[in-house]
Structure 1
Amino acid sequence: MPDMDGWLSWRRRGQSQEDDNDSTPLPDDVLAAVFARLTDAADVLRCAATCKRWCRVVAKDAAVHARVLPPELARRRAFFGVFSQLGLPDPVPGVADAAYHRKRKSPYPISLSDGGRHDALLEHSRPVAARNGWVVLELVHASPAESLDLCVFNPMTGEIFMLPSLSGEARPRCYACALLTGDDVDEPLPTSTTVFFRVLIVYNRYRFTAFRAFSSDTSRWGTEVSRSARPKIDNVRLGRLGQSVVLGGVAYWPLRRSALAVQLDGPEPCEVTMPPWGISADQPQSLRLLGVTSGDRRQQQKLCFVDVGFDVDDRLHRAGLPCRTIFLLTSVLSTIDGQGTNMLKWVMPHGRLYIPEMMVCSSDDFNLRWFCEKSGVILFTVGQESNSPGLYALDIATHKVQKVVDGTGCGSWRNVVGYEMDAAGYLASVACY
Structure 2
Amino acid sequence: METLPEHVVVEILVRVTEVAALFRCAVTCRRWRLLIADRSFLRRRWPEGVVLQSSLLGFFAVQQPRQEPTGWSSTMPMPPFTPVPCSPQPHRFLTIPDQPQGSQAVVLASHRGLLVVRFLPQDAISMFERTMVLAVCDPVAGTSRRLPPLKFNRSFRIEGCTVLTRADCSPTKTKRRGASPFKVLIISYDGQYNLHVLASDESSWRSPRICFGPVEHSGYVVPQQVNIVVCQGIAHWLFKFMSNFYTLSVCAETTQMALTKLQVTPNNLGFKFYSALLSVTNDGRLSLLGLHRDCTWLEIWTHEGDNKSLDGMADCWHHTKMIELKQPKQSTVDLVRCVCVSEISGKLLIKDNQDCMYIVDLQTGAMETVTDWFCGIVTMAVPFEMDWPTLFMSRLVGCRIKWNKLRGDMSKNYFSLWGPIVLSIIFGLIAMSQE
Structure 1 length as normaliser, TM-score? 0.63
Give 1:191's aligned residue.
176
Aligned residue for 1:81, secondary structure, equals: strand
Pairs within 5 Å for 1:274-285 = 274-275=260-261, 278-279=264-265, 280=267, 281=269
Q: Separation in 2 of the partners of 1:210 and 1:422?
A: 30
Check 1:390–1:222 CA distance in 2 against 1; reply closer, same or farther (3 A cut): same
Q: Separation in 1 of the partners of 2:24 and 2:257?
A: 51
- In the alignment, is the contact (CA less than 8 A) between 2:198 and 2:206 conserved in 1? yes
- In the alignment, is the contact (CA less than 8 A) between 1:77 and 1:422 conserved in 2? no
Give 1:392's aligned residue.
359
Pairs within 5 Å for 1:83-102 = 83-87=59-63
Q: Separation in 2 of the partners of 1:331 and 1:72?
A: 22
Using the aligned pairs only, state the percent identity: 16
**CA-to-partner distance for each residue in 1:82-139, whole Å, 9 max, x for gaps?**
32324379999xxxxxxxxxxxxxxxxxxxxxxx964773972111111111111111
**CA-to-partner distance for each residue in 1:145-189, whole Å, 9 max, x for gaps?**
421121111111122121111125599334321221122133315
Q: Is residue 381 from structure 1 mapped to residue 368 from structure 2 by the alignment?
A: no
Give 2:58's aligned residue.
82
Check 1:355–1:35 CA distance in 2 against 1; reply closer, same or farther (3 A cut): farther
CA RMSD of aligned residues (A): 4.8
- In the alignment, is the contact (CA less than 8 A) between 2:298 and 2:323 conserved in 1? yes
- In the alignment, is the contact (CA less than 8 A) between 1:79 and 1:426 conserved in 2? no
Aligned residue for 2:230, secondary structure, equals: strand
Give 1:407's aligned residue.
372
User: Residue 111 of structure 2: which of 128, 131, 134 is its match?
Assistant: 131
Check 1:241–1:45 CA distance in 2 against 1; reply closer, same or farther (3 A cut): closer
Q: Separation in 2 of the partners of 1:285 and 1:121?
A: 40
Q: Separation in 2 of the partners of 1:404 and 1:68?
A: 34
Task: For 2:290, give the aligned amino acid.
Answer: D
**CA-to-partner distance for each residue in 1:328-368, whole Å, 9 max, x for gaps?**
111233459xx99458336352552112243764533x332
Check 1:276–1:176 CA distance in 2 against 1; reply closer, same or farther (3 A cut): same
Q: Separation in 1 of the partners of 2:225 and 2:351?
A: 20
Check 1:77–1:371 CA distance in 2 against 1; reply closer, same or farther (3 A cut): same
Give 1:39's aligned residue.
12
Task: For 2:57, give the aligned amino acid.
Answer: G
Check 1:393–1:165 CA distance in 2 against 1; reply closer, same or farther (3 A cut): same
Pairs within 5 Å for 1:298-317 = 298=284, 301=285, 303-309=286-292
User: Residue 326 of structure 1: which of 267, 276, 296 is its match?
Assistant: 296
Mean Cα deviation higher: 81-90 or 215-224? 81-90
Q: Separation in 1 of the partners of 2:54 and 2:112?
A: 8
Aligned length: 347
Give 1:273's aligned residue.
259
**CA-to-partner distance for each residue in 1:17-70, whole Å, 9 max, x for gaps?**
xxxxxxxxx9xx999x89954536565649949xx9879749x95756756648
Q: Separation in 2 of the partners of 1:410 and 1:346?
A: 42
TM-superposed deviation, 1:266:
4.0
- In the alignment, is the contact (CA less than 8 A) between 1:150 and 1:163 conserved in 2? yes
TM-superposed deviation, 1:421:
1.5
Q: Separation in 2 of the partners of 1:328 and 1:220?
A: 42
Check 1:157–1:326 CA distance in 2 against 1; reply closer, same or farther (3 A cut): same
User: Residue 248 of structure 2: which of 239, 242, 261 is its match?
Assistant: 261
Task: For 1:349, give the aligned amino acid.
Answer: H
Q: Is residue 291 from structure 1 mapped to residue 269 from structure 2 by the alignment?
A: no
Q: Separation in 1 of the partners of 2:147 and 2:338?
A: 30
**CA-to-partner distance for each residue in 1:233-275, whole Å, 9 max, x for gaps?**
648835x6322111233221221132332324244x3431312
Mean Cα deviation higher: 79-88 or 129-138? 79-88
- In the alignment, is the contact (CA less than 8 A) between 1:305 and 1:331 conserved in 2? yes
Task: For 1:265, give the aligned amino acid.
Answer: A
Aligned residue for 1:287, secondary structure, equals: strand
User: Residue 164 of structure 2: which of 180, 183, 190 is its match?
Assistant: 180
User: Residue 166 of structure 1: which of 150, 156, 168 is its match?
Assistant: 150
- In the alignment, is the contact (CA less than 8 A) between 2:235 and 2:252 conserved in 1? no
Aligned residue for 2:344, secondary structure, equals: coil
- In the alignment, is the contact (CA less than 8 A) between 2:325 and 2:367 conserved in 1? no
Check 1:69–1:250 CA distance in 2 against 1; reply closer, same or farther (3 A cut): closer
TM-superposed deviation, 1:73:
10
Give 2:90's aligned residue.
none
User: Residue 200 of structure 1: which of 185, 209, 232 is its match?
Assistant: 185
Task: For 1:242, give the aligned amino acid.
Answer: V
Mean Cα deviation higher: 225-234 or 244-253? 225-234
Unmatched runs of 5 consecutive residues or more in structure 1: 1-25, 93-115, 311-323
Task: For 2:381, give the aligned amino acid.
Answer: V
Q: Separation in 2 of the partners of 1:344 and 1:215?
A: 28
Q: Separation in 2 of the partners of 1:196 and 1:188?
A: 12
Check 1:30–1:132 CA distance in 2 against 1; reply closer, same or farther (3 A cut): farther
Task: For 1:138, give the aligned amino acid.
Answer: R
Q: Separation in 2 of the partners of 1:46 and 1:130?
A: 21
